[in-house]
Amino acid sequence: MVELLVQARKDAGVTQEELGRRIGQRQTFISKVELGERRLDAAEFVEIAHAIAADPYELMRRAQEF
């Protein structure tokens, strides 16, 4: 799911720094999530998806296809 979230962020043209600002976190938080160094709970996943205008439920459905 993280790979899909990263791709959605990039598709939206949002940098890690901008995403961090949108959710009240530092860029390093976003980087650690994207590198798999930090796990997201469900609420954080939904918050990040909304911050990049992605449908979190669609991302989860797509992740099931793998």
Q: What is the mean pLDDT of each run of 10 residues along the chain (66 residues)?
A: 96 98 98 97 97 97 89
The pLDDT of residue 66 is 72
Query: Could you give the angle at the alpha carbon of 18 between the alpha carbons of 16 and 19, nearest 5°?
Result: 65
Domains and CATH numbers, the chain: 2-64 (1.10.260.40)
Which pLDDT belongs to residue 51? 98
Q: What is the pLDDT of residue 11?
A: 98
47, 14 contact by CB (below 8 A)? no
